[in-house]
Amino acid sequence: MSATAVKRKRVKFELNADEDNTVYVAGSFNDWNPKKNKLKFKDGIFATSVLLPRGRYEYKFVVNDTWCVDPDCEEWAPNEMGSLNSIKTVE
């Protein structure tokens, strides 16, 4: 019996912020590690891509060590801290 590979899709995370910021994305896809996925600044925007299998992922941006939701996200979910997480669904 052969194992089937899990299909992954490149998912882009973008945030419009001033260049002098340091921006990461943390979420259910990286065990909420606030220093694992750093966004790079280019052409006026911070961005990074993460390979993810199909599913629903909660995340937040970490800007200069301050956690914040994605202002361009269309879906949010309440979290255990009493605030919201952004949601990204990978089809």
Model confidence pTM above 0.85: yes
Q: Are strands 55-63 and 23-27 parallel, antiparallel or unpaired?
A: antiparallel
Residue 1 is assigned to a structural domain of this protein: no
Residue 34 is assigned to a structural domain of this protein: yes
Helix-, strand-, coil-residue percentages of the chain, each rounded to 5 = 5, 55, 45
Q: Cα dist. 48→6, 40, 65, 88 in Å?
A: 21, 6, 17, 14
The tens-digit pLDDT sequence of the chain (91 residues) is 455 678 999 999 999 999 999 999 999 999 999 999 999 999 999 999 999 999 999 999 999 999 999 999 999 999 999 999 999 999 9
Q: How many domains does the chain divide into?
A: 1
Domain that holds residue 70: 8-90
The three-state secondary structure class of 76 is: strand
CATH, residue 30: 2.60.40.10
Residue 2 is assigned to a structural domain of this protein: no
Residue 32 is assigned to a structural domain of this protein: yes
State the DSSP code for 28.
Answer: G
Q: Which of 60, 91, 58, 61 is nearest to 77 (CA)?
A: 58
